Amino acid sequence: MAVRAAVLPAIGAPLEITEIDLPEPGPGRVRVRLAAAGVCHSDLSLSDGTMRLPLPAVLGHEGAGTVVAVGEGVEHLAPGAAVILNWAPACGSCHPCTLGEVWLCVNALNGAAEVYARTTDGMDLHPGLNVAAFAEETVVPASCVLPLPDGIPLTDAALLGCAVLTGYGAVHHSARVRPGETVAVFGVGGVGLATLQAARIAGASTIVAVDVSPEKEELARAAGATEYVVASEVTAREIRGLTGKQGVDVAVECVGRAVTIRTAWESTRRGGRTTVVGIGGKDQQVTFNALELFHWGRTLAGCVYGNCDPAKDLPVLADHVRAGRLDLGALVTERITLEDIPGAFDNMVAGKGGRALVVF
């Protein structure tokens, strides 16, 4: 059966909106009709070569939809079930998995190397980040599909698959923000907005949002920011001025640039904690001297997928959504079609908006 999809033929090439042929789900696989897919910076990173996975591929990894069919051996799902796609399924047997650190699974992206579909003229296609969500339908391993908790709107649920898990986990699992602590969030895109909401849920007192665009202040404050700083050479000084000259307890960097990581670190108090969520390129070198590392006693940590276990964290997030503490719709600044994805990429490069959501 042919479906429409956004295909990346090569690094740096424009996306091609075209028809592809999907197979019926084989053993252990599931066919899902997408309701929506979020346009994440990681998709842009695959497109420009910052992240490297086999090509040509159908991009998109943040999605939700409805099960159309299941292959032999799939017993926890049935046609008609509402589901969320999990782009990083843990194998359960590698060293990080045995330690309970499933977000660091060394085999999580093995599926991206497989051929999962073909163009109508016979070209092999890989599933970008395992799930190929920029398509009307996809076929994925059953491990990449999680039931959608009750009471969550199917379209907005797509955001739970990456942006919300990442932002929530950065606050609650990596930085472990405690009630009353002060937090700065660098980058007010989809993940940044989710991080701001998570900081509010955690009970942070002062929440500073930082972005290059002054136009994002309203979005940031609606998500939970109590202060807004337009990024400049004196950002760290401004943040210290907002926190009694101490600096924040926690900074979360959602950009992936060396200068932003360094500024986030400098914005924390002595003994403060910085969590880096943004994915930067190999050329983004962050430097520190030995004396300042000793003197400031700060912590700098990477954060993959929010250090989350989706199977355990999704029910928690669903409770927050149902209680009104987490507003998924507030993360979405535009609802688009497949044809609009290149424009959404351009907006990310320009630093515009929050999350663009492809609605099928």
Judge whether residue 1 has pLDDT over 80.
no
Q: What does the alpha-carbon distance between residue 94 and residue 107 come to, in Å, rounded to a whole number?
A: 8
Please state, for a pLDDT cut of 70, what percent of the chain lies above it.
Answer: 100
β pairing state of 145-147 and 62-70: unpaired
Domain ranges within the chain, ordered by starting residue: 2-148+328-359, 167-304
Judge whether residue 230 has pLDDT over 80.
yes
Residue 349: per-residue pLDDT: 87
pLDDT-wise least confident of 47-51, 100-104, 141-145, 197-201: 47-51
Q: What does the alpha-carbon distance between residue 95 and residue 61 come to, in Å, rounded to a whole number?
A: 25
The answer to whether 15 and 358 are in contact (CB under 8 A) is: no
CA angle 193, 196, 202 (to 5 degrees): 145
Residue 127: per-residue pLDDT: 97
The amino acid that residue 22 corresponds to is L
Judge whether residue 231 has pLDDT over 80.
yes
Task: Return the CATH fold of 2-148+328-359.
Answer: Quinone Oxidoreductase; Chain A, domain 1 (3.90.180)
In Å, how far are 48, 72, 92, 333 from 76, measured between CA atoms?
A: 37, 12, 18, 34
Q: Span 167-304: which CATH code?
A: 3.40.50.720
- The single residue listed with the structure tokens 């919300």 is 164
Judge whether residue 350 has pLDDT over 90.
no
Mean pLDDT of 213-219: 95
Please write the tens of the pLDDT for every residue from 15-63. 999 999 999 999 999 999 999 999 998 898 888 888 888 999 999 999 9
Residue of 293, 294, 302, 289 lying closest to 253 (CA atoms): 302
- Cβ atoms < 10 Å from Cβ of 94: 16
Judge whether residue 331 has pLDDT over 90.
yes
Residue 352: per-residue pLDDT: 85
Residue 50: per-residue pLDDT: 87
Residue 129: per-residue pLDDT: 93
Q: What does the alpha-carbon distance between residue 24 and residue 314 come to, in Å, rounded to a whole number?
A: 28
Mean pLDDT of 238-253: 97
Residue 353: per-residue pLDDT: 82
Please write the tens of the pLDDT for every residue from 284-322. 999 999 999 999 999 999 999 999 999 999 999 999 999
Please write the tens of the pLDDT for every residue from 250-284. 999 999 999 999 999 999 999 999 999 999 988 99
Q: What does the alpha-carbon distance between residue 46 and residue 49 come to, in Å, rounded to a whole number?
A: 5
